[in-house]
Structure 1
Amino acid sequence: MDDPNTTLTVTLGDLAEKVEERVRSGEYDSPSEVVRAGLEALAREERAFDAELKAKVEEAMADPRPSIPAEQVFEELEKHHRQRMARDAARL
Structure 2
Amino acid sequence: MRTTQPLTITLPLDMAQMVKDKVSSGEYATESEVIRDGLRTLAARDAAVERWLREEVVPTLADARAHPERLLTADQLRKNLSSQIDVITAQPRSGA
Q: TM-score, normalised by structure 2?
A: 0.61
Tell me which residue corresponds to 2:50. Answer: 50
Unmatched 5+ stretches in structure 2: 75-96
Tell me which residue corresponds to 2:68. Answer: 66
SS in 2 for 1:56: helix
Unmatched 5+ stretches in structure 1: 68-75, 77-92
Tell me which residue corresponds to 2:37. Answer: 37
Identity between Structure 1 and Structure 2 (%):
34
Task: Provide the rounded CA distance (Å) in 1 between the counterparts of 2:31 and 2:39.
Answer: 12
CA RMSD of aligned residues (A): 2.2
Task: Provide the rounded CA distance (Å) in 1 between the counterparts of 2:57 and 2:4.
Answer: 39
Tell me which residue corresponds to 1:24. Answer: 24
Q: Which runs of 4 or more aligned residues in structure 1 lie more than 4 Å from their structure 2 counterparts after TM superposition?
A: none
Once the two structures are TM-superposed, the CA of residue 3 in structure 1 deviates from its matched residue by 4.1
Structure 1 residue 10 and structure 2 residue 9: aligned? yes
Q: Number of matched residues? A: 67
